[in-house]
Structure 1
Amino acid sequence: MTDANQLFGQALVKSLVGERGHIRIARALPDISAELAGRKHEHMPYSIYQLVKHMHYWQQFMLEHVEGRKPQLPTNVMESWPDNPAPLDEATWKADIQAFLDGVDQAVTIAETAQLDDPLPYFPGETKAGLLRNIASHNSYHLGEIVLLRRFYGAWPPPGGGFPA
């Protein structure tokens, strides 16, 4: 692994976990109850639950590409959004959060260990670094919406505070 690869990998890790730019993603989600996750705000098109499921959908799609597989492209982007605004129950919701955070951990491991400028066999013109950066920016964008919804509902900050550490 080259020095440039390693330095960029370290920067990607910071972006993936949410260091510096915003609260760490792993601190912003776990205390959200299923009830709160399923609430719909009149001025927002999605619930927290729908946002997390959407983030997880595209994160997994991109991770499959990074790992050299060819995931099935949805016929319509709306397939990445669940119809139901709320999780089935608390246990399912906690499993959804954990699955999403496990994907973040997987992306971090790749950023720390892979040759990031390797091209992707089923994503012409893209590299591992490019898709990991895309995961980080997509998650960051939607995490901002989750934080905003939590503020609307009076459920901010999470335990431990709401600002980057």
Structure 2
Amino acid sequence: MLNNSQILLTEVLQLLNGGTAHAKLDDALNDLSANLRGEKPHGLPYSIWQLVEHIRIAQWDMLEFSKDGNHQSPKWPDEYWPKETEPDSEEIWAASISQIKKDLNELVELVKTGDLYAPIPHGTGQTLLREALQVADHTAYHVAEIIVLRRLLGAWKP
């Protein structure tokens, strides 16, 4: 029988990996036409590209904070959101998504091996549990926005 810590770990890992009650980033981006990555429908302040990059930057920041006492976070909000509405190339788009996956895998491994409850030594009371939940929540929120943008663009097939 699993103890409470094992149950929590399992739930956090499922939440980080998406699915269950939330769509995954891959699902939200599946079959997205390249010409829609930079569209900002109905006066919305961001494009799908800007949301993807924001997910990448924020997740990277939370991961690095969790493991590196010398990490310097980007300046909020300017350095968490790209100015460009679309990626400059297919390679940049692919690299952003690849980095999201790489950083998520690293966070998952950190969660599996770290003490979820211990305060991060260089923080102000944050724990690995808090950072993992924040990454999962933040990503799920913006994945939902990507899906809404796709619906508004007529490019969503549930």
Regarding TM over 0.5, the answer is yes
In structure 2, list runs of 5 or more residues that go unmatched.
none
Task: Indicate the residue corresponding to 1:93 in structure 2.
Answer: 93
Q: How far 1:58 sits from its partner (Å)?
A: 1.0
How does 1:110-129 map onto structure 2 within 5 Å? Answer: 110-129=110-129
Residue 32 of structure 1 and its aligned partner are, at CA, apart by 2.6
Q: Detail structure 1 runs of 4+ shifted over 4 Å in the superposition.
A: none
Q: Residue type matched to 1:11 in 2?
A: E
Would you say the 8 A contact 2:53–2:81 is kept in 1? Answer: yes
61-70 vs 138-147, greater mean Cα deviation? 61-70
Query: TM-score if structure 1 supplies the norm length?
Result: 0.85
In 2, the alpha carbon distance for the partners of 1:13 and 1:25 equals: 15
Q: Cα 1:67–1:112, aligned 2, differ >3 Å: closer, same or farther?
A: same
Count of aligned positions? 157
Counting aligned pairs with the same residue, the percent is 34
Q: Does 2:40 match 1:40?
A: yes
Match of 1:152 in 2: 152
Hey, which of these two has a bigger chunk of strand by percent? 1
> Once the 2 structures are TM-superposed, how far is the Cα of residue 109 of structure 1 from its aligned partner?
2.1
- Point out which structure has higher relative CO (alpha carbons under 8 A, 6+ apart): 1
Shift, 1:141, TM fit: 0.7
CA distance in structure 1 between the partners assigned to 2:136 and 2:147 by the alignment: 16
Cα RMSD over matched residues? 1.8
1:1-165 residue pairs with structure 2 within 5 A?
3-157=3-157, 162=158
SS of residue in 2 equivalent to 1:66: helix
Give the TM-score of the pair, scaled to structure 2. 0.89
Q: Provide structure 1 residue ranges, at least 5 long, that are not aligned to the other structure.
A: none
| Aligned 8 A contact 1:29 1:97 in 2 | no
Q: Which amino acid aligns with 2:102?
A: D
